[in-house]
Amino acid sequence: MSAQHDRTAWICGAGASCTEFPSPVERPVRLVLLGAPGAGKGTQGELLCEKFGCCPLSTGDVFRAARSLDPARLSPAMQTALGCMQRGELVSDETVIELVRERVHCMECRCGFMLDGFPRTIRQAEKLDGMLAGRGVALDAVLSFELPREEIVRRLSGRRTCRTCRSTFHGITKPPAAEGVCDRCGGELYQRVDDTPESIRVRLEAYDGSTIPLVRYYEKRGLLVPVRADGSPDQVFTRAMETLSSRMLLKPD
């Protein structure tokens, strides 16, 4: 996540507003990110936000933050969402759409935005289209980070996460300075239960089920920008920028 964005309006929802904004950008860029777990979407999202100054809008972050907010401040849709999550149920499209609708003014931000984790289904994508059209705002591109399944399994099964600050490391590609210890905060590193090879396969199947139709949806609308996600973060970012630049006629550095 980019440190330069306040994101109060997105995280807290209706009525809340950001108090600090990064310097104005020449042209607000509006993106959606797609990518299987392990494809490096989080890292690329940070780099893209840094490059374009756009605000990272993640629905997962909204849910995580809501758990520590005063329940009296939560909207009915958020209370429904948290109830579903506590019971281990999926949050319905209707509820997620309502939560995004409560934050729709974020999509008019002069910084632009980068949606991450939304939309996850065709229904969410259709509703997003409606919300954007209603505000006269258009997406510039939907970046889809693509990586062969074996490589995803290799990446995720070597991943270790910090119990304290959630930073991630990798036994081969990004080892911590001291084994089992987070470089950033000194917290303990562990393997998430959903980072074991069997859980990874289950997660990937669920991801494919919902995302392949979404990829087709944006392909048909001419918005899809597929990006090969193998190689180092810098290599992937360079590839993403080349494709985006030629598409949006942006000036590369």
Interface positions with ligand AMP (CB under 6 A): 58-60, 63, 91, 96, 117-118, 120, 124
Alpha helices in 53-177 (DSSP H): 59-66, 76-86, 93-102, 122-134, 149-157
Q: Cβ closer to ligand AMP: 168 or 238? A: 168
DSSP 30-68: EEEEEE-TTSSHHHHHHHHHHHH--EEEEHHHHHHHHTT
* Catalytic residue list contains 41: yes
When the beta carbons of 191 and 238 are compared against ligand AMP, the nearer one is 191
**Which of 30, 103, 120, 155 is flagged as catalytic?**
120
Q: Are 147 and 39 in contact (CB under 8 A)?
A: yes
Closest residue by beta carbon to ligand AMP: 60
Whichever of 125 and 241 has its CB closer to ligand AMP, that residue is 125
> Is 149 a residue of the active site?
no
| Rounded Cα–Cα distance for residues 43 and 32 (Å) | 14
What residue has token string 């980068």? 114
The active-site residue, picked from 192, 216, 221, 247, is 192
CB of 168 vs ligand AMP, minimal distance in Å: 13
Closest approach, Cβ 14 to ligand AMP, in A, equals: 18
C-alpha 134, offset from chain centre: 23
Q: How far is the CB of 244 from ligand AMP (least distance, A)?
A: 22
Residue whose structure tokens are 């081969």? 172
Shortest Å, Cβ 72 to ligand AMP: 22
Residue 74: how many CB atoms within 10 A of its CB? 17
Mark whether 166 is an active-site residue.
Answer: no
Nearer to ligand AMP, 96 or 143 (CB): 96
Known catalytic residues?
Answer: 41, 120, 159, 192, 203
